[in-house]
Structure 1
Amino acid sequence: MDGDALTRLRTDFVKSPAARRGAILSSIGAAVTCAFLVLLLYLFVDLLVWRGEIPHYGELTAAQKKEFATEWAEHSDADRNAAVARLNWADPLRVKRLTAKSDEELKPLARSQAEEHLFADEWDARWHAGVYLTLRERVHQAAADAYLPPSGSERADKAEGSDPDAKPQFGLLSLVVRERNRWTAPLLGRVAAWAGWTWKPGATGSANVTYLTGLFVLALGLAAVRGVLVNALTYLSAAVTLEAVTKVRRAVYFHTYRLGTLTMQAVGTAEAARLLTERVEEVGDALHARLTGAVRYPLTAALLLVVILLVNFWLALSFLALASLVWLVGGQVAAHFRREGRFGERQAAAALALLKESMALFRLVKCFQMERFNQARVERQLNESARANWRKMRGSTLASPLLGSVVLVAGVALLYLAARGVLAGGFTVAGLAVLAVALVALGAPVAGLFDYAAKQKRGREAADAIFEFLDRRGEAAEAADAEFLPALTTRIEFRQVTLDDPATGKRLLESVTFAVPVHASAAIVGPDPAEKHALMYLVPRFLDPTSGEIRIEDKNIRWVTHESLRAQVAVVMLDDLTFTDTVANNIGVGNPEHSLPQIIEAAKLAHAHQFIEKLPFGYETLIGPTGHTLTLGQRFRVALARALLRDPSVLVIEEPTGPVDEDTLALLDDTLARISAGRTILFLAQRLSTLRNVNRVFVLKGGRIEASGTHDELWKDSDTYRGLQLTADATATEYPALKDTE
């Protein structure tokens, strides 16, 4: 099929633009909130590890001290002077030493050789000044003032009397300082500048309680929002999917009627039933997966990867390399073992079939005394079966453990690299925890993407099958200028009618020509049921002939309306006697114009009223596979009552072919005798009594009318007709309706 059938199906059947947009927005929101929750986890773990404390200079590693020395030298003289002024040192010479760019500038300022040993201690003061400048640049002046309050302020007075080794708790500012040279610093600075509650000291002088409470409330809010978004996504996706699935099922249902009766007989209703159930469900799964996963899973995976990169870029690259290794090595090896398992399963099935054959040969073995030969064969087959089963078990059992082992090795390697990073000081414990959580969380969207791809593949195959069915040309369409057909007053006439089976191309009818006068009865007999059914289906125009025409009231039924034609023609066929519903609905076909008294009168005419009254709920009794079971004769009389309720001028009746009791046959004969007056009846006759009573019998063989006449005439002149009756005699015990054949 040209193009993507699933895309065509979405275009033709998936509407609800508002719901689709809502599902997309919900997908985006769910992915974004997931990423934000992981980021909040990072802030939370960092707060627990560092407790919002800004480290002292002595706690820095050698690399960090060297990095800070470079930063200090890069600050302007004005910035260094302003920062050192916040330290409130009175000694001008010491102030001058503090504002120096490096140790080399400090040496000429030493008043004695002993004072050179004090230079190293003064780097701690520079560190405080540097932190002040960092907070002023990254956040704003208020954050810097919170760390080093101006001289004369209340907080400055409190700081003078405090323990110099104490580290105040500033919440998020601790992270801002420690990551000041990372590319995440501008983002953290903006967050701190916008959300003052993340670092402003409380009544106790600590910002941690407020910061922790804020993180908790924010996490609760994000979790609640994400829950609402996921539920909205599920609801909207289900609504759109169910609407589309219902439309597809409706299209398949109506198209079965447009295809024509012979087509459905040839391919069977199983195809349409499978389309309505399995195929439509697969399409529904694909549509639902697209709405819920096409945006959500890739976006969630991308955002989580961004979070991983934010935590540690090089470790994230290591993870991607290991993930690629897992897929290339583990995935391919596991796929190899799965193929081995499937091959072994086929071999085991073949070996088991041979064993079953050998077990069934016991008569032959005993008769020809081939016990030793057969025992050797069985031993060889048992060995082959054992080898095949071992191959099957090895493939099926090793695939998953092997893949799991490769994943475990990759995880241990990644953990080792992360631990090395933590020990080297280039990676934090908080970063390690968040990296682990992000990697675990990444599994769900990645698995969802694989599931999405599998469902899309099955959906495309199902959509191909559905459109292949829907694109089949329907038959017996009504003409735009069709005429109204009045009640039959003359005859039904077949003129050179030829019909090919629409499904197989087999020729069913060949130049069939005959006529049935009004108020007459005729029977069609023949060895091929398909030919007889095809002939009957032409009368109500369930399908059109390949060539030739059927005329009623001298009107070609091709050019009359379906409604007027089928108002005059009622059909009673064994394939469609009853359906699962109440008896009243089976007779009245749910038409509100048919009152219960009318339904009862039709049932009485068909000799069905008596047994209906004995049912548990009378005419309201549910019949069918899930209700009360009726016999073949009872179902036939219900169908006959349905046809009589319409009071048609033409009746097409297929007599029961199975065993029917004599009392029922007598009732049917009485009914047919009473309804034949004033009607034209075409029988697919099964009983000799019917063949004797009709005005004319037509023998259909090889798609042609081979002979016609009364029963007596055909018994004398038609070998085919006599053969059919003799066959009926031979099966009289199975079909007692034919036991009175002469």
Structure 2
Amino acid sequence: MASKEPTPFQRIFSSSELLKGTPLNACLDLAGSTVLLVFALIIISLITELLVSGGQLKIPANSGHRLSEILGDEVMTELSHAPTNALGEIEFTNSGILPYVWKSRERYFGPVVSQAYRRFSPLRANRSALLTLVAVMAAFGYLRSMLESHARMLLQRTGLSIGTRLRQAIHRQTLRLGPSDLEGSVCQQALQLFTTEIDRVSTGVFHWALRMGRDPVRIAALTVLAFGVDPILAGVCLVPIAGCWYFAHRETLRINQVRSLSEVNSNKELRLLAESLHRTRLVRGYAMEAFEQEQFDRSLERFQQNLSQGLTAQAWSRRSIRVLVAACLAFVVFFVGSKVVAVNSEFPFSSAVLLLSAFAATWFPLQSLARLRQEHEPVEEAARVIQTYLNQIPEVGQAVGAKFLQPLSKLISFENVSYTTPGNKQLLAGLKLKIPAGRQIAIVATDPLEGQAIAYLLPRFIEPQSGKIQIDGEDIAWVTLESLRAETVYVGGKTPYLTGSIRDNISGGNSNFGLPEITEAAKISHAHNFISKLPQGYETIIGEHGEMLDPGQCFRLSIARAILRKPAIMIIEEPEEALDEDTKTLVDDAYKRIAINRTLIFLPRRLSTLKKVDEIALIHKGRMVAIGPRERLKQSAVLYRHWEYIHFNELRHEFESE
């Protein structure tokens, strides 16, 4: 028989993990709390017996030897002053919990109570016994709260550690999936998972572990306690209690479904009501006020009826549950009470209190477990979403036996390359493009994503569905990712720097790059000047918790990072934000410096870049439709003229603002 497939939540936190490490320690704390609860209920019955009996006990004279066996000679000597009444009964007064000791002599916990009476003399007098029992109750309560608090803390740590583990996994997976994220959906999903969904799972682990580690043990312990008081009576009472709980639980589930259906119908009518607020011109223009008012009133009445039906059903359900619980409680109390008041009954009132207390204490963990499944559904859904994300396979992987790529010396070629996004949007359709080594080329496209797709294909952030890309005749699908990305560096983009020091941002945390090399790269990109003016120079922290850089500074920092690695191919995505004139001059000079013995591929945002490159490749509907110097394209390519006008005419911002 095939084993049951684990749920997404069980893949994250299985039941077996509850019995290991920190969760196991928490379960032991909760078990200790349950034991203390059982003892506390027994002490309550002791206090009850003490208050009811007043420490008075009458036993037949011939039962004295039995009492002597229970208490021992030393205690009996102390109680030997007890007089014998006219009925021949030995009468003990102010004897503390002695009545309870005598009445529980045949029960499983009787020896424990008698030993306590023998060893602790304060239990042998009424006032001292009451004070001792109350003090022990308070101590047990304090210890229970400490154990429960410690268990909660341990399980919260478990939930947090699960959250940390999931965040690490999502971070690793995002590093694998993120480079191919042209449309930003992967990062958006990762951010949602990183915050909302993981917090939900972390909290869900805490609540699930708390209830599963506490409630089953507590129910079992209290049930054993109840059957220990009187097995037959406990069994008889347990049947209506279990039936009451079952029907109350089923009724709660039913009314929740009714309420959900009522809310769905109410929301449907509410949307109809909201639509009427958008039809004012139609209604007033055609004098339809009476007709519209009639429709509005009918929808409003249906809306109110749906809400009222849900509330009425909920109210009746609550009344039914309360009546059922009251009837069950009345039956149990009557049945237990009948045994207490029966003629010649040896079932003391304190035992009845203990039995009823055990049943009452069992109700709460039963309710807690009953609600667990419904409350756990959002957690299960969050776990499913997280698992689905973590199980995604990156579209780019390194081939077995991949070669080491040598620096570009001749030609980059795209041969019939096609690419479609995971969202089924085709960006490239049989693209053919050749880029000679040492050239500067700008790639422009009627759809910006098409240009980005070409730029992402070179360092293999994404993988084409067909066709191939070659560097000096080597298919990049068969070279190592490390050597490819060492020679093909992407500059700019929407994430220009990490939170950290300037030095770490340029070096990437690589200790092989010394400060002189980092400084030289910054000087070439004209970043050194603004870096030296920062409070700690190259050690200045930038990002969320440090200095903030403007777009021009970010871009020059990105160029410095690329220069330090000395790649043969540099893909430069210029910033969308407008740069000031000084920054433009510095960037243009940096381009001249880095272009020496290097191939530059631009995704341009500035007209000056288009004027200075050797060639411009125009991409339209996934194909290259024109290539050449700017002046030639302006004369021969109508589509290019249109593209340049849209992006660089002087009035474009006026239309954008409108």
In the superposition, the TM-score normalised over structure 2's length comes to: 0.84
1:250 aligns with 2:175: no
Quote the Cα distance in structure 2 between the aligned partners of 1:273 and 1:489: 41
In structure 1, distance between residues paired with 2:136 and 2:120: 19
- Give the residue type in structure 1 aligned to 2:103: R
Give 1:159 shift.
5.5
Shift of 1:298: 0.5
Match of 1:469 in 2: 389
Q: Offset at 1:652?
A: 0.9
* DSSP 3-state at the match of 2:44: helix
Check whether the contact 2:84–2:90 (CA below 8 A) recurs between aligned residues.
no
Query: Where does 1:324-723 land on structure 2 (aligned, <5 Å)?
Result: 324-394=242-312, 403-404=321-322, 406-408=324-326, 410-424=328-342, 426=345, 427-454=347-374, 456-479=376-399, 481-501=401-421, 503-581=422-500, 585-593=504-512, 602-608=521-527, 624=543, 630-723=549-642
In 1, Cα distance between equivalents of 2:462 and 2:562: 20
Q: 1:16 to 1:607 in 2, by over 3 A?
A: farther
CA deviations 1:424-447 (Å, max 9, x no partner) are 365533234334543443344224
Could you tell me which residue of structure 2 aligns to residue 190 of structure 1? 111
Q: Which residue of 1 aligns with 2:202?
A: 284
C-alpha distance 434-2 of structure 1, shift in aligned 2 (>3 A): closer
**Matches of 1:222 and 1:689, distance apart in 2:** 81
How many Å apart are 1:299 and its aligned residue? 0.9
* Alpha-carbon distance in structure 2 between the residues aligned to 1:12 and 1:434: 33
Unaligned runs of 5+ in 1: 57-126, 738-742
Of residues 128, 140, 155, the one that matches 2:61 is: 128
Amino acid at match of 2:48: V
Instruction: Tell me which amino acid in the other structure corresponds to 1:473.
Output: I
One of 36, 57, 76 as aligned partner of 1:54: 57
SS at match of 1:187: coil
Amino acid at match of 1:346: V
Residue identity over aligned pairs, in percent, reads 29
Judged with a 3 Å threshold, the aligned counterparts in structure 2 of structure 1 residues 734 and 628 are, in CA distance, closer, same or farther, namely farther
Secondary structure of the residue that 2:427 maps to in structure 1? Answer: strand
Tell me the CA shift for residue 543 of structure 1.
2.8
Q: How do residues 133-282 of structure 1 correspond to structure 2 at under 5 angstroms?
A: 134-135=66-67, 139-140=69-70, 143=72, 158=81, 166-168=91-93, 173-179=98-104, 185-192=106-113, 195=115, 197-199=116-118, 206=124, 215=133, 219=137, 222-223=140-141, 225-259=143-177, 261-263=179-181, 265=183, 267-282=185-200
Distance 1:200 1:600 in 2: 82
Q: CA deviation at 1:647?
A: 3.6
Give 3-state SS (helix, strand or coil) of 1:44's partner.
helix
The answer as to 2:220 corresponding to 1:302 is yes
* Residue pair 2:104, 2:110 contacting (<8 A) in 1 also: no
Partner Cα distance (2:430, 2:560) in 1: 34
For residue 636 of structure 2, what is the amino acid of its counterpart?
A: D
Contact 1:588 1:594 in 2 (8 A): yes
Distance 1:394 1:629 in 2: 58
Deviation at 1:198, TM superposition (A): 0.7
Structure 2 distance, partners of 1:52, 1:561, is 89
TM-superposition CA deviations, 1:558-607 (whole Å, max 9, x none): 34333333232321243222444555554444445556665555455444
* 1:361 CA drift (Å): 2.5
Name 1:77's counterpart in structure 2. Answer: none
Task: Work out whether residues 18 and 209 of structure 2, in 8 Å CA contact, stay in contact via their aligned partners in 1.
Answer: no
Q: Is this contact kept in 2: 1:146–1:200, CA < 8 A?
A: no
Q: After superposition, what is the alpha-carbon deviation per residue over 1:290-318, rounded to whole angstroms, capped at 9, x for unaligned?
A: 44332321110121122233345566456
Q: Deviations over 1:55-89 (max 9, x none)?
A: 35xxxxxxxxxxxxxxxxxxxxxxxxxxxxxxxxx
CA shift at 1:696, angstroms? Answer: 2.0
- How many Å apart are 1:332 and its aligned residue? 4.2
Which residue matches 1:60? Answer: none
Distance 1:341 1:243, change over 3 A: closer
C-alpha separation between the residues in 2 aligned to 1:264 and 1:448?
46
In structure 2, stretches of 5+ residues that fail to align are none
Over aligned residue pairs, what C-alpha RMSD do you find? 4.0
What secondary structure, in the 3-state scheme, does the structure 2 residue paired with 1:513 have? strand
| Residue type of the alignment partner of 1:128 | A
Change (3 A) 1:679 1:401: farther
Give the Cα separation in 1 of the matches to 2:416 and 2:15. 42
Structure 2 CA distance for partners of 1:610 and 1:705, relative to 1, 3 Å: same
Aligned residue number for residue 106 of structure 1? none
Q: Which amino acid aligns with 2:380?
A: R
Aligned residue-pair number: 649
Distance in 2 (CA, whole Å) between partners of 1:291 and 1:661 is 58
Q: How many Å separate the matches in 2 of 1:712 and 1:693?
A: 11
Structure 2 Cα separation of the partners of residues 723 and 302 of structure 1: 79
Letter in structure 2 aligned against 1:54: L
Residues 40 and 441 (structure 1 numbering): CA distance in 2 closer, same or farther, change over 3 Å? Answer: same
Residues 580 and 436 from structure 1, CA distance in 2 versus in 1: closer, same or farther, beyond 3 angstroms?
farther
Q: Deviations over 1:384-404 (max 9, x none)?
A: 333344335445666556645
Partner of 1:7: 10
Residues 621 and 628, structure 1, Cα contact 8 Å, conserved in 2: yes
- 1:682 Cα deviation after fit: 0.8
How far apart, in 2, do the equivalents of 1:269 and 1:460 lie?
22
Separation in 2 of the partners of 1:200 and 1:692?
A: 102
Q: Which secondary structure state, in structure 2, belongs to the residue aligned with residue 369 of structure 1?
A: coil
Deviation (angstroms), 1:532: 1.9
Match of 1:42 in 2: 45
Query: Are 1:603 and 1:638, in contact at CA under 8 Å, matched by a contact in 2?
Result: yes
1:28 is aligned to 2:12: no
CA contact (8 A) 1:38 1:434 kept: yes
Q: Distance in 2 between matches of 1:186 and 1:345?
A: 55
Q: Which has the higher Rg, Structure 1 or Structure 2?
A: 1
SS of aligned partner of 2:469: strand
Cα distance in 2 for residues equivalent to 1:365 and 1:492: 65
**1:392/1:602 Cα in 2 relative to 1: closer, same or farther (>3 Å)?**
farther
